[in-house]
Chain A
Amino acid sequence: MPPIYLVVYFSLMYVYLYDDYLKQKKYDVTMKAIETRLTDFGIAGKIIRLQQFTNAHAVVEEEISKGATTVVIVGNDRTFGQVLSRAATCRTLFAFLPVGPENSIAEVLGIPEGVAACDVLSKRRKVRLDVGWVNNRYFISQLHIFPHNISVEYDERFSVSAKNKKMELVVCNLQPFVWEGKGKKNYIIHPQDGKLEAFLRPLEKKGLFKAQYETPSIFPFEEMVVSSATPFIMEADGKKTKELKVMIRLAKNRVEMVVGKMRRF
């Protein structure tokens, strides 16, 4: 009797989460080209269109239970933050296909915009990334606290305050912080350095059209507590909330992500 060989194929199942704005006619050509390229590579998969109130975590969990191995976010920085702030708890591989404007995170991850991103996706170069954790939710790109009388305590060791002035706080993870002051300087944040970077800017004076800020202070940290006597507005990954006390922490190597060779870390 001839030997029987059992061949098992492990297929990688891809799920694509499309942002709502990609329905616009101007993206038709790009989306068609991307879909064709993905089919050529044999990595085409199920397409889910995100709506404004879609719970990304529930969608991703459901797809993982159905056998999805790679979840690809298709859109811009806002889409990336919207999905990963909820779905970072899901144990799966994430990837990103940037389409359209406002794609600064893709640049840091070394993923080119449009069809060229399919090549990066097909290579599956995996890297674990640090993620920020703020009041029971994750933030991927940036956290912003608008100018307010806040006091900041870092790693339970030292506190920072401005002399009778309101301060603006920006905590960067993947999205670079751009300070448009004397000599516009871009700070590129290393998402795997085991630290988050906080940029503190005391408000010098509020003009009629534009507020003037002082030179920013920069503090790399692992844990930070921001508190105030009155509620302050906080924006994390594009979502605004009012808070009195906020604890910001670093979740090391939380998200596994497909990145490009030209990544900035």
Chain B
Amino acid sequence: MFQKPVADSYDSSMNEYAHDEVETVVGPSVQVEGDFASEGNIIVKGTVSGSVKTSKLLSVEGGAKILANVKANEAIVAGQVKGNVRVTNRLELTETAQILGDVSCAVLVVAGGALIHGKLVMKGIEIQDLKPTKKRGLSRLKQSKSIEDDEEEEMGEQAE
């Protein structure tokens, strides 16, 4: 008698199932030009040029081309990207992925065959011992000094 009506819970669960979130999809023969931004997931099957930005998942499917800088929370790349890729969390590159540009992400998953040409930066490195780099710097300085000295000597000999 004093139980909660069952219909209430049923209603909320129905809403969860019924609410089919529409994603942004760029079809295979569609060309998008300009600043392409979305608050939801983006699936690219065609060509995008300009810039791509999403706060959720970006999926670049096989055969798709992005000629733009990319910013996303997560990304799965199976197509080609020409531009810098900045992913906040996880970046997954499949076998057919090709990236020409700098990549930064927190987690990187690379399948065999994926190609990257650019600088890779990942956050979270906790290597505290930075002395070797300083030493290298000093040694380089020393080396450069010695080279300069040699050059001066050579120049002096030539002048004589």
Chain B residues within an 8 Å CB radius of A219: 24
Interface residues of B toward A: which range?
A: 20 to 34
1/0 contact string of A157-177 vs chain B (CB within 8 Å): 111111101000000000000
Q: B31: which of A160, A214, A215 is its contact (CB, 8 Å)?
A: A160
Cα of A70 to Cα of B22 in the assembled complex, Å: 32
Chain A contact residues (Cβ within 8 angstroms of B): what range? 20 to 34
> Shortest distance in angstroms between B149's beta carbon and chain A's nearest beta carbon?
59
Which A residues are CB-close (under 8 A) to B25? 215-218
How far does the alpha carbon of A29 sit from the alpha carbon of B11 in the complex, in Å?
Answer: 31
Docked Cα-Cα span, A189 to B38, in Å, equals: 17
For the complex, is A265 an interface residue (Cβ under 8 Å from B)? yes
User: Contacting chain A: which of B13-21, B89-97, B100-108, B124-132?
Assistant: B13-21
Chain B residues whose CB sits within 8 angstroms of the CB of A264 once the complex forms:
15, 18-19
Closest chain B residue, CB of each to CB of A213: B27
Complex contact A261–B7 (CB within 8 A): yes
Q: Which residues of B contact A214 (CB under 8 A)?
A: 27-29
User: Nearest Cβ in chain A — how far from B153, in angstroms?
Assistant: 63
Q: Which residues does chain A contribute within 8 Å of B45, judged by CB atoms?
A: 215
User: Is A225's CB within 8 Å of the partner chain B?
Assistant: no
Specify the chain A residue showing the minimal Cβ separation from B48. A158
Q: Which residue of A lies closest to B37 (CB)?
A: A157
Per-position 1/0 for B28-71, Cβ under 8 A of A: 11111111111010000110001000000000000000000000
Which residue of chain B is the closest to A157 with respect to CB atoms?
A: B35
A249 interfacial contact with B, CB 8 Å: no
Q: Which residues of A contact B29 (CB under 8 A)?
A: 162-163, 165, 202, 214
Let me know if A190 is at the binding interface, CB within 8 A: yes
Q: List A contacts of B40 (CB < 8 A).
A: 220
- CB neighbours (8 Å) of A265 from chain B are 15, 18-19
Residue of A nearest to B18 (CB): A264
Subset of 27 A-B contacts with CB under 8 Å: A157-B37, A158-B35, A158-B50, A159-B34, A160-B31, A161-B31, A165-B29, A186-B20, A190-B19, A197-B22, A200-B30, A201-B27, A202-B30, A214-B27, A214-B28, A215-B27, A215-B45, A217-B25, A217-B27, A217-B46, A218-B22, A218-B24, A220-B24, A220-B38, A264-B18, A265-B15, A265-B19
List CB contacts (< 8 Å) of A181-233 with chain B: 186-190, 197, 200-202, 214-220
| Pairwise interchain contact A188-B27, C-beta atoms closer than 8 A | no
Task: Assess whether A200 is in contact with B27, with CB atoms less than 8 Å apart.
Answer: yes
Closest 8 A/B residue pairs (Cβ):
A158-B34, A217-B27, A264-B18, A218-B25, A188-B20, A217-B30, A157-B35, A158-B36
Interface positions of A from 234 to 265, Cβ below 8 Å from B? 261-265
Please tell me if the beta carbons of B36 and A215 are within 8 angstroms of each other in the complex: no
Rounded to whole angstroms, the CA-CA distance of A160 and B25 in the bound complex is: 12
B11 vs chain A, min Cβ distance (A): 5
A165 to B34, CA, bound (A): 20
With A264-B15, A265-B15 already in contact, 12 other A-B pairs whose C-beta atoms are closer than 8 Å: A159-B32, A159-B34, A161-B30, A162-B29, A186-B20, A188-B19, A215-B25, A215-B27, A261-B7, A262-B11, A264-B19, A265-B18
CA distance A146 to B25 in the complex (A): 20
> Does B23 count as interface, using CB distance less than 8 angstroms?
yes
